[in-house]
Amino acid sequence: MIQTLPPSPAKPASPGSSLSLYAELAGSLQSLIDQGTLRPGHRVPSVRMMSRQRGVSIATVLQAYTVLENRGYLEARPQSGYYVRPRPPSFAPEPRMARPMAKPAYVGVKDLTTAIMERAADGDFIPFGAACPHHSLFPNKKLARLLGSVARRDPTLISRHGMNWGYEPLTREISRRYLQGGVPLAHDELVVTIGCSEALNLCLRAVTKPGDTVAIETPAYFGFLEMIESLNLRALEIPTCSRAGICLDELREAIEQNDVKAVLVMPNFHNPLGSLMPDEKKQRLFDLLCEYDLPAIEDDIYADTHCGDCRPKPLKAWDRDGRVMLCSSFGKTLAPSFRIGWTAPGRYLERVRRLKFTNTMGTPVVLQKTIAEFLRDGGYDHHLRTLRRAYQQQLHQFAQAMQRYFPEGTRYSRPQGGNVIWVEFPAKVDTLKLHHEALKHRINTAPGALFSVKDRYRNCLRMSCGLPWSDEIDAALKTLGELVKKQL
Ligand SMILES: Cc1ncc(COP(=O)(O)O)c(C=O)c1O
């Protein structure tokens, strides 16, 4: 059914108003959806009809519809038009923040992490465990053609010794993108690495020595915990809010009471919470780092997967004195197996370069050049728009299905980017037990215990939503829900 709209024509933006026409149109449609005038499943007027109705250009309507798609209000259905998207009930509560940790602790490696990662690559299992996006979300064929063409044009790239801090056309492309986003980073401030993992590793090593304490968010990505363990560091877990990131009061207290040497944070789309730290809080976090003269290692790997209109700025944007070591990669957005990442380690640049030399010496140039050409020719932005839409849609579909199948009293984070949702079941549920039960149904999960040094989050689960929706996923979520309900 096509919904006819109440007569509220989009007026030309009033003089002095900073809102553009498309933003006004998007805003007015959004209000109609919020008020329930336009309801889930309803088809909104076609672009042409809306353009006539509101007296604005087709391009304006298209832009407004795209904004609403990005915000999760509309969905485009091929050859059919734009529809109001079902929205998850807003009453589902959000996860609670953990209690602070009294003392830093060494990390015990959990064999389960390796098993979960191995199963992530096993097509026999439904991969809810690892945060690996499905291969269909990447421009594999385009990249394969480009890789072939790059290698054919200059086969010596394959035999050249890859001793480099970064292939300059790539570092220039990366720095150009930061500049566009309001972060002035020169290309020669960057070191290209083997994935974000190497970037994080080098940065940790640059500012700590074995036995030192690193403050981290809790829950924390299990890769951070493994890294901290492998470097014989101690982790100090700081309570983190599922909406706005690390709690600054708790961080301050922890720094005052412990000899913290560095802070490892994910202000943009934290894994596993999906939280996004507001800009004003990033400023306060930076001020706190200055006050205690501490370096920060920032993992920004999910920033390009924002649900909102703009890519959020990294903490690095507030860095005045080179204490923020920004780390990222194309692993979640373009080509996970190319393993191309980078760091902008600020004042620690020389130290990180030396560590890169001893760690892996260089990063394959043929892969760097392929990505540089993909970025340069504009394919990346187009691809990112499609990817973001897919991630959002998947987050939305997973959230809806979980609320349908999981027991009452379950809490869910509301990620504003990325592709994971943090789920807190009622206290009685044991997600380690659930993990083993689910394996019998060929479902791989990531139990909460993996995300902490302490024995926390026994009743929590990180749900990876990196898979395009299918009946199989729906059925697997239903099965998980039944297994959880059996425990209650
Ligand atoms: C938060 C976070 N940081 C870093 C990584 C590792 O990134 P890469 O594959 O680029 O090494 C991951 C991978 O899942 C991740 O989730």
Give the residue from 378, 412, 438 where a domain finishes: 378
pLDDT at 86: 66
CA of 196 to the centre of ligand 1 (A): 6
Position 15 in a domain? no
Statement to judge: residues 337 and 365 lie in one domain: yes
323 burial class (0-12, 13-18, 19+ CB within 10 angstroms)? buried
The residue segments making up the domain with residue 57 are: 21-84
Residue owning the nearest CA to atom 14 of ligand 1: 131
Q: In the structure, which protein residues have their CB atom closer than 6 angstroms to any atom of ligand 1? A: 131, 195-197, 221, 223, 271, 299, 301, 329, 331, 336, 341
Give the position, in ligand 1's atom list, of the atom nearest the Cα of 299.
3
Write the CATH number for 198.
Answer: 3.40.640.10
pLDDT at 90: 54
Q: Which two tokens stand for residue 408?
A: 């009452």
Statement to judge: residues 344 and 367 lie in one domain: yes
Give the residue from 378, 400, 435 where a domain finishes: 378
Q: Give how many domains the chain has, as a whole number.
A: 3
Position 373 in a domain? yes
Residue owning the nearest CA to atom 7 of ligand 1: 196
Pocket test for ligand 1, best of 134, 201, 221, 297 (most atoms within 8 A of CB): 221
Statement to judge: residues 359 and 391 lie in one domain: no
Q: State the Cα–Cα distance between residues 34 and 18, nearest whole angstrom.
A: 23
Write the CATH number for 73.
Answer: 1.10.10.10
Statement to judge: residues 208 and 338 lie in one domain: yes
Statement to judge: residues 446 and 330 lie in one domain: no
Query: Which of 308, 299, 321 has the alpha carbon at shortest distance from 278?
Result: 308
Give the position, in ligand 1's atom list, of the atom nearest the Cα of 328.
10
Q: What number of CA atoms fall less than 13 Å from residue 93's CA on the CB side?
A: 11
Residue owning the nearest CA to atom 13 of ligand 1: 131
H-helix or E-strand spanning residue 236 = strand 234-241
Pocket test for ligand 1, best of 113, 268, 332, 368 (most atoms within 8 A of CB): 332
Strand duo 340-344 + 296-299: pairing:
unpaired
pLDDT at 31: 79
CA of 98 to the centre of ligand 1 (A): 23
CA of 211 to the centre of ligand 1 (A): 24
Position 9 in a domain? no
Statement to judge: residues 434 and 360 lie in one domain: no
Q: State the Cα–Cα distance between residues 107 and 449, nearest whole angstrom.
A: 12
Distance of CA 169 to CAs 187, 321, 341, 357, 376, Å?
9, 26, 14, 20, 9
Q: State the Cα–Cα distance between residues 353 and 359, nearest whole angstrom.
A: 10
Position 287 in a domain? yes
CA of 164 to the centre of ligand 1 (A): 22
pLDDT at 317: 97
Query: Which of 126, 85, 129 has the alpha carbon at shortest distance from 474?
Result: 126
Statement to judge: residues 177 and 291 lie in one domain: yes
Helices 349-359 and 195-207 pack at an angle, to 10 degrees, of 120
Residue carrying structure tokens 């898979």: 467
Pocket test for ligand 1, best of 174, 222, 301, 451 (most atoms within 8 A of CB): 301
pLDDT at 191: 97
Statement to judge: residues 235 and 361 lie in one domain: yes
CA of 307 to the centre of ligand 1 (A): 19
Q: State the Cα–Cα distance between residues 303 and 299, nearest whole angstrom.
A: 9
H-helix or E-strand spanning residue 424 = strand 420-424
pLDDT at 100: 83
Position 143 in a domain? no
Is the distance from CB of 183 to CB of 177 less than 8 angstroms? no
Strand duo 324-329 + 340-344: pairing:
antiparallel
Write the CATH number for 448.
Answer: 3.90.1150.10
CA of 352 to the centre of ligand 1 (A): 19
Written as tens digits, the pLDDT of the chain (488 aa) is: 444 454 443 444 444 444 688 988 988 888 788 767 787 778 899 999 999 989 999 999 999 998 888 767 888 887 889 988 766 555 578 999 888 887 888 887 667 888 888 887 788 899 999 888 889 999 999 999 999 999 999 999 888 776 678 999 999 999 999 999 889 999 999 999 999 999 999 999 999 999 999 999 999 999 999 999 999 999 999 999 999 999 999 999 999 999 999 999 999 999 999 999 999 999 999 999 999 999 999 999 999 999 888 899 999 999 999 999 999 999 999 999 999 999 999 999 999 999 999 999 999 999 999 999 999 997 899 999 999 989 988 998 999 899 999 999 999 999 989 999 999 999 999 999 999 999 999 999 999 999 999 889 999 999 999 889 999 999 999 999 999 999 99
pLDDT at 8: 45
Statement to judge: residues 198 and 278 lie in one domain: yes
Which residues have C-beta within 8 Å of that of residue 333, sequence separation ≥ 6?
Answer: 304, 305, 383, 384, 387
Residue owning the nearest CA to atom 1 of ligand 1: 271
Q: State the Cα–Cα distance between residues 389 and 392, nearest whole angstrom.
A: 5
Give the position, in ligand 1's atom list, of the atom nearest the Cα of 221.
1
Position 404 in a domain? yes
Distance of CA 355 to CAs 180, 188, 204, 242, 384, Å?
30, 17, 11, 34, 32
Which residues have C-beta within 8 Å of that of residue 36, sequence separation ≥ 6?
Answer: none
CA of 269 to the centre of ligand 1 (A): 12
Which residues have C-beta within 8 Å of that of residue 124, sequence separation ≥ 6?
Answer: 442
CA of 84 to the centre of ligand 1 (A): 33
Position 210 in a domain? yes
Q: Cite the DSSP H helix spans in 377-470.
A: 379-405, 431-439
Beta bridge partners of 326: 298, 344
Position 459 in a domain? yes
CA of 153 to the centre of ligand 1 (A): 32
Give the residue from 378, 398, 415 where a domain finishes: 378
Statement to judge: residues 420 and 390 lie in one domain: yes
Statement to judge: residues 244 and 310 lie in one domain: yes
CA of 52 to the centre of ligand 1 (A): 47
Helix (H, G, I), strand (E, B) or coil at 17: coil
Statement to judge: residues 362 and 411 lie in one domain: no
Pocket test for ligand 1, best of 113, 194, 197, 463 (most atoms within 8 A of CB): 197
Query: Which of 92, 3, 15, 40 has the alpha carbon at shortest distance from 424?
Result: 92
pLDDT at 12: 42
Give the position, in ligand 1's atom list, of the atom nearest the Cα of 302.
1
Radius of gyration of the chain (CA): 23
CA of 5 to the centre of ligand 1 (A): 45
Which residues have C-beta within 8 Å of that of residue 382, sequence separation ≥ 6?
Answer: none
Which residues have C-beta within 8 Å of that of residue 432, sequence separation ≥ 6?
Answer: 112, 447, 449, 458
